[in-house]
Structure 1
């Protein structure tokens, strides 16, 4: 029988998921499928707190490096720019106060808790270097490690856990996607959590005698080993496809028992009633045997005819344990004792039991006393436990074949060498001060003064981005895969305000994607979703148009080109 965990997630687990979403700069208002209202609140607040800490750190770094806090220096828009600029201004206030000898006391000013903390930290650190990490005056989030630098500090992200795990109290723990509601099992499936992932089991769709495996295939149930043996005493259960048969056997009683009644059960023999089995000593009957208790002045070894070690004859195929008047056969791990003779150990085929719990993500090979999991021949290696497959990041390990002029992008089971070029009348935009090795590129319109066609073209910006996805065989609900941000404020009551519309220009032949319009923090955003299952490997290019409309006219347009690489495997 299989039991499923139904307890709600702890608040600490909800917070850790929120912090990870904030660290990845994802939308905090888009929650996983969490039924608990308290968990939803904790998830969003921990995500927003992490997002604000990272934005404030950017502002402090800008103040220390450039001494300028103008909005054009920040890449973000909306509230993100306001948060970074506020921390930049407050840090500049602290450093200026220190350089003029005005002290670092700002409690009389109504600056707010965050601004006063940043100003005092920058003021105290401007005269001589202070290890903010040691005195715990940094603003690094719990998902980051504080590293002291000359006159400042930096927050370095802690190593990520492998997929399916989350960093909780500095330990990578398995994420129960079934409990948190972050799985993609449809209403016809039951979610079963496994280490580092989950499985979707079909609900009662197979014929009697069959069960469903993780990919929705009905397989035979071995009734003889699943705990539902239908055979009576004196019969041996033999599994068949979709059922089983019961074969009648003659009951063989072990040493110390006699066959009685209708020949279906054994009864203990009282050896003490057979005669003087212990000589002058006392005889005590036991189930299947007897024992002799010596009179004073005797030891058990002095009565040489009492005990025989049946295990010396090696009656068992594996392990033998001698007991009074008899013996017991035991099997090593991965084997079970045969019901036919009680002496032979039979191998357990763990791979055949995968209908209830899949033991390998790719392929399972049964072996005597155990099993082996194999991974695809390229792009994966077995994990430390030998039961899961781990993707090889060829880009990180340097085992790729990309040239210096190409971007290396890791995908599940391989890598891609990518190059992007801007079309005519467009130039490549410079990247920000942060190191960025991601394979993305932005192309900005760059017209010559006399080029009228270029000047009249509404397209102002073309952005290339890359995305790696597993094979989703079940798309009973849309899977959100990309977020498109704009700086346009939502003003539903103002007919003269600028509005934004999103449109998919190109996609696959089966129309497996769509784009919907939403809002976040009062700004218009677009969400790209996968609405149909796609079996990999597939390479798909999506082109999404972001149209800015004022008074019914498209004033300008931005194009986002998403290069999607879909792996042939689900894990």
Structure 2
């Protein structure tokens, strides 16, 4: 008995039988109706008016080919009605018997599933779905995909796997003519002459054999040091003969000339501390930095940079050393980080004075507060019993006696009482912005007040900093201009009145200083009352002193001129000193 699934029950008896259908009760009528419609020639479209399950059985029986029922049982299809499955998948449409087994097949428009029994409709989604304009729809089993449209370049055509080369030679055998062979290339083709030339020759466009110039067609026909010579059908290599000039020698391969390094080989003539520098075809002898060549003695000698180079190497003192130089500063100054300029030392930071210290350019001055006097060492202040003695006061400004005690008072303007209740603190009007100086003037604070100062440069001078004026070059034959100071510098100094005299308040000297320098210093204006004097301290330094007491607050503007004799030339420099004396009672 042949096995044909659960829907087949025909026995193999060796006698041909009609196909039999195993139908569930209620569906035999649907099959009989389909067979009747076929015999009547009415077609099978009536299944559309029946329910899905009955209509499917109706269509199966109506479309049955009765002629097949006369075939032998072997290989004969046994039609079985399908039942309504879930989700649009149907069971085996056609059961085909085979010896010892069976297989299922599906009607047109359906696809057999992987289980070998179920059938599902074969839907072409591309009929209803639209991809993007630059894409094309490709139907797949049970789905679809959108692929990019591919435009193939000339010489290629589109296949399912992409663009493929067109074999022009296969499409047309006589494309190149009878004397040439067609050879397909990617995207095109080429024609090759059938005639073959000997080695060293090639065919031209007319098929003629012409000589190949290997010297120009080959990248390196000959090795280094050999020249290529073309011959008919071949070429030859001949060794080059290289002649080198003095200072060069032939390279190891004999093909070129290379420089001789006299410095490395020791064949140079540099002596006396000179340094050899190789040059193409020659060499050069140089002295080390800070030395110059003495052509007479043929040695390198030290350069005195302090005299040889123009300009200011050092701000104050220049000292020559072997191969270099050193800068130094005079007392009261220290060498800056650039090892050339000098910066004023603020001696007051070291607290050399027992009470008050005022830093000056290159020096300092100690002062005592009210109620103290400066001792002979110039730094120590000795206390005074002010209220009980006539030589001083207990308070900085005014001592007011009260029963059992006293209190101190300050002037009504320019001071405020300090926290200690004895001294008066100056009000810095410049810092607080309470001054009335114009925009063109600078505010300078004083004890108990302030001053508005002008640091303008005279005619024929230009301002190089806030307090420096440099002379502009003089016109020819202008002796007044040439005799005027090279530089004008402003300084501001403030002291209390009644300080001990004589007292040095300012120093002046050239910068830098050279051996043989001589200076003279004098007060040219502002000393009509003879409060100040100028003295020469050394050949290159002068100072300004207060030679008699200034007993009341007073302002001075004095001009101090320094004339410098250097190498037979006299130059002048002018310092304008604003000197202010404030009340000593503070």
Q: Which has the higher strand share?
A: 2
Larger Rg: 2
TM-score bracket for the superposition, by shorter chain length = 0.3 to 0.5
**Greater helix fraction, Structure 1 or Structure 2:** 1
Q: Which has the higher contact order (CA 8 A, sep 6+)?
A: 1
